[in-house]
Structure 1
Amino acid sequence: MPSDILNLEREYAIYLPATYDKNVDKEYPVLYLLHGGGGSHTDWAKAGQLQEIANQLIAAEDASEMIVVCPEAGKDFMNYFNNPDWRYQDYFFEELIPYIDTTYRTKSDKQHRAIAGLSMGGGASVVYATAHPELFAAAYSMSGYFYRHDNLFWINFNDPVQKKIHQLVEDNNCVKLILEGTPEQVEAWKSVRWFVDCGDDDFTYDANVAFVAALRQQQIPYQLRIRDGGHTWEYWTSALYLALPFVSRSFEK
C-alpha cells in the first residue's frame, strides 16, 4: 500500500477467513497482529502458523471469523513509535487502518477491532490501545517489551540506530504511561479488554509484572497468564490459541 506519511510503499500480510470470498456481503471484525523487533509482516504467517491456527480455531467455533492484518514495521527503521524521521504511529492510524477498512469488508467500529503483538509489537499494542482506546475493543500483549532493557547482549547499544530505537521504546515506557494516566484516560482505558501473556523464563518477565502492577494500581481490569516458556516462537505460537478466542469474545460482546 502507498504511504504519503512515510513516503514509500508499505507491505502487510493479511489473513482472510475461508468464507470471505463466498459470503460477499458479510463484514468481519479485524485483529491487527504486530511482529517483534527485527521481524517482518510475514513472521506470523511463517513462524507463527497464523493461517493454520486461525483456520483450526474458527472451524472448531473457538474463535470468530475475523480478518487478521500483520503490518510491516521492520524493513526501514524497526520502530512502531513516532519520531521526526519516521512517523510510523501516524501511518498506522491515519493511513493503514483507513486503507484496510476501505479495501476489505471490515466492521470498522471499536467493538470489532482489536490489537495484539509480540515483544516490541506487544509494547506497541499497549501504546496504541492507550493512545486510541476509542478504536480498540481489546489489546493482547505477548512477552511485551514495555521499556528499554540495557543488558541485552545481542543488541549493540553503541550502534546509533539501535540506541535510537530503544530510546524510543523508553520514551513510550508502558509502565510509566499507565501510572501517569489522568483520571479521564484511566476511565477510557477501562473500555479496552486487556490481556498480558508472558513466559516465566522470558527476559521481559519483570517488565510484564510491573505493567500488571500498574494496571492494578489504576484499577484497570485485565487478564494475566504466566506460562512456562521464554522469548520464543514456540511460546508465541501457543499464545495464538489464547489470543484469538480472547479477542473473539470481545467482538461478540
Structure 2
Amino acid sequence: MEPEQTTYSLTLITEGGGAAESEKSAYPAGEAVLVTAIPNEDFTFSAWYEEENRLSGVAAYSFSMPERDLTLRAVFLAIVPEPEPDVPTEGTLDMSQTIASEILGGQQNYTIYLPPSYQTHPNKEYPILYLLHGLGQNYRSWETNGNLKAIADDAIANGICEEMIIVSPEAYGSFYCNGYSQNMNYEDYFVNEFIPAIESTYRVKATKGGRSISGLSMGGYGCAFHAFKRPEMFSSCFAMSAAFTVTGSNRPPIAPLVTERTEAELADFPAFVMECGTEDFAAYPMNNTLNSILEQTTLDYIYTTRPGRHDWAFWQECLPKALKLASDNFE
C-alpha cells in the first residue's frame, strides 16, 4: 500500500552532545531522509512530524557511531492524525429560557444565541453581546423580526466577526433604567441579576474585554445608558435609531454621563457607534442633538447617518456592523 503523500515538517534532535544535519526540513511521506552525523559520538536520532502545528508522529533511533563518517538513511511513512471533529456551521438559538428574579418578581424570559462551536468545544469561553430590543417589542423580537440567528451565522461564516454568545433579555417598556415604567427597577435587575445569571450559566468571558452591548430605539438608549454609566463593564456599544430623549421623560439623560466625565475617563470609554436613518422622523432629531453635544467632548465615537426609517429593514442592516464592532473590540 502506497503511503499517503502528505508533507510534514521534520525536526531532527541529537542527544549526548552529538550533531546531525538533514538536507532539508520538510519531507513528503515515504521519501528517504538523509542525515549525516559526526563520528565517535553516541546519540539518539529523533524526528517528529508536525502538520498544522500539531504533533502527528514520532520516530527515534539510537546509534553508537563508528570511527568513520556515516550517513543514516531512513524512510518515514506518513502518520495521518485523527481528524478534528466537525464544527457545525450554524449556531443554536433558544427562546425558551428564563431566570428567576427577586427584583422584578417571577420568571424573566430571554433569547440566547450560542455560536457554532459552542457544543463541540466544551472548555472554551466566548465573548458576549447583550442585544436590547425596542419599545413595543420583546425578548423574541430580534429573532422573529430581526433575523438574528441567520445574520449572526452569516457574519461568523464570512469572517465579519468572531464567534460570540448573543443574548436578548425581556425589558418590557422599562427603557432599561430604574423607575421609568410602573416603578420597575429594571436597571438593578439587568446589572445585579440578569448579567450575573447569564455569565454563570453559559461559558462567558466575564470581563470588560469579553462584553459588548447594543440595541435599537429604546434599546439604543439602554445600551448607551449602561455603557456610559458603567464603562468598566463593556468594551463597545452600538446604538441603532436610539430614542435618546423624550419630552417629559423621567429617565436619566444620556449627555451628562459623558459631559461630566474627565478626559482621562472618556479615554477609557467603550468604543461607541450610533447610527440613524435620515427618514426616521422621531429618532433622527434626537441623535443629531446628542451628536452636537458629544462632538464638544473628547469622546472618541462614530455617528453614521444614511437613508432609512425606524424599521426592521434598517436594523437588520445595522446588526452585522454591531457584530463587527463587538468583535473588533473583544480581547
TM-score of the two chains, using structure 2 as the length reference: 0.67
What percentage of aligned pairs have identical amino acids?
37
Greater radius of gyration (CA): 2
Which residue of structure 1 aligns with residue 155 of structure 2? Answer: 57
Which residue of structure 2 aligns with residue 220 of structure 1? Answer: 299
Residues 223 and 182 of structure 1: CA distance in aligned 2, closer, same or farther (over 3 Å)? closer
Structure 1 residues 180-206: Cα deviation after superposition (integer angstroms, max 9, x where no partner)? x1327x714643100011001112112
Which residue of structure 1 aligns with residue 272 of structure 2? Answer: 194
- Residues of 2 paired with 1:209 and 1:130: CA distance? 18
- Residues of 2 paired with 1:223 and 1:174: CA distance? 16
Q: How does 1:142-181 map to 2 (within 5 A)?
A: 142-149=240-247, 167-168=249-250, 171-179=251-259, 181=260
Indicate yes or no: 2:262 matched with 1:183.
Answer: yes
Aligned counterpart for 1:230 among listed residues 309, 312, 316: 309
Gaps of 5+ in 1: 150-165
- Residues of 1 paired with 2:284 and 2:299: CA distance? 20
**Larger proportion of helix:** 1
- Residues of 1 paired with 2:267 and 2:210: CA distance? 16
**How big is the shift at 1:214?**
2.0
The ranges of structure 1 where at least 4 consecutive aligned residues each deviate by more than 3 angstroms after the TM superposition are none
**How big is the shift at 1:85?**
2.6
Secondary structure of the residue aligned to 2:111 is strand
**How big is the shift at 1:139?**
0.7
Report if aligned partners of 1:30, 1:112 keep a CA contact under 8 Å in 2.
Answer: yes
Aligned counterpart for 1:88 among listed residues 173, 181, 186: 186
Indicate yes or no: 2:241 matched with 1:140.
Answer: no
Structure 1 residues 112-156: Cα deviation after superposition (integer angstroms, max 9, x where no partner)? 10100000110011111111110000011000000105xxxxxxx
Which residue of structure 2 aligns with residue 161 of structure 1? Answer: none
**How big is the shift at 1:79?**
3.4
Gaps of 5+ in 2: 1-98
**How big is the shift at 1:40?**
0.2
Indicate yes or no: 2:295 matched with 1:246.
Answer: no
Equivalent AA in structure 2 for residue 60 of structure 1: N
- Give the number of equivalent residue pairs: 230
What value does the CA root-mean-square deviation take over the aligned residues?
Answer: 1.6
Could you say which structure has the greater relative contact order, defined with CA pairs below 8 angstroms and 6 or more residues apart? 1
Q: How does 1:66-77 map to 2 (within 5 A)?
A: 66-74=164-172, 77=173
Report if aligned partners of 1:178, 1:214 keep a CA contact under 8 Å in 2.
Answer: no
Which residue of structure 1 aligns with residue 18 of structure 2? Answer: none
Report if aligned partners of 1:34, 1:116 keep a CA contact under 8 Å in 2.
Answer: yes
- Residues of 2 paired with 1:173 and 1:78: CA distance? 14
- Residues of 1 paired with 2:175 and 2:287: CA distance? 20
Which residue of structure 1 aligns with residue 199 of structure 2? Answer: 101
